[in-house]
């Protein structure tokens, strides 16, 4: 199992647990454990997001460099600017496709990462709410 599959499986487990909790759920310890696990997964996932961004940026920079070099060569050999640009674009259209795939992967990972961070905030809010409820309950029971 590769790292992405391992992370996805772990994340799905935590999200499944969290999303299946009922309204009357009061076990703070389980939420804290879920948050800790998710925190570790989010950190590891952030590395994948960074790698995806690096791949996209490298693909973009490489394409721009090749396009510029080849366009200049064609212009120097007598082509018009527009014809040179179109010639290079058609010659390297597969580079554009690969760049698009790299961008799509980065955006997908980034979106998932943002959702995970939102979920962590939600878990933290639930933990805080439960702590307040327990504190209030103990005050009322002792009072």
Chain segment 42-96, per-residue pLDDT in tens: 999 999 999 999 999 999 999 999 999 999 999 999 999 999 999 999 999 999 9
Boundaries of domain holding 70: 3-131
For the full predicted model, state whether its pTM sits above 0.85.
Answer: no
List, in sequence order, every beta strand (DSSP E) within 1-143. none
**Domain assignment present for 140:** no
Taking the C-alpha atoms of residue 42 and residue 125, their distance in angstroms, rounded to an integer, is 17
DSSP 8-state class, residue 21: -
Taking the C-alpha atoms of residue 39 and residue 60, their distance in angstroms, rounded to an integer, is 31
Taking the C-alpha atoms of residue 58 and residue 113, their distance in angstroms, rounded to an integer, is 21
**Domain assignment present for 75:** yes
The residue with tokens 């009922």 is 22
**Domain assignment present for 142:** no
Domain count, the chain: 1
**Domain assignment present for 141:** no
């Amino acid at each position: 199992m590769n790292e992405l599959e391992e992370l996805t499986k772990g994340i799905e487990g935590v999200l499944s647990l969290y999303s299946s909790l009922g309204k009357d759920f009061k076990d703070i310890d389980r939420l804290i454990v879920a948050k800790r696990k998710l925190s570790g997964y989010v950190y590891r996932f952030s590395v994948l997001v960074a790698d995806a961004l690096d791949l996209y940026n490298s693909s973009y920079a490489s394409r721009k460099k090749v396009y510029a070099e080849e366009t200049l060569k064609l212009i120097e050999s007598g082509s018009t600017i527009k014809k040179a640009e179109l010639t290079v674009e058609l010659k390297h259209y597969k580079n554009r496709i690969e760049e698009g795939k790299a961008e799509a992967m980065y955006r997908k990972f980034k979106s998932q990462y943002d959702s995970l961070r939102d979920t962590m905030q939600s878990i933290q809010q639930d933990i805080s709410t439960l702590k307040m409820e327990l504190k209030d309950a103990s005050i009322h029971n002792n009072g």
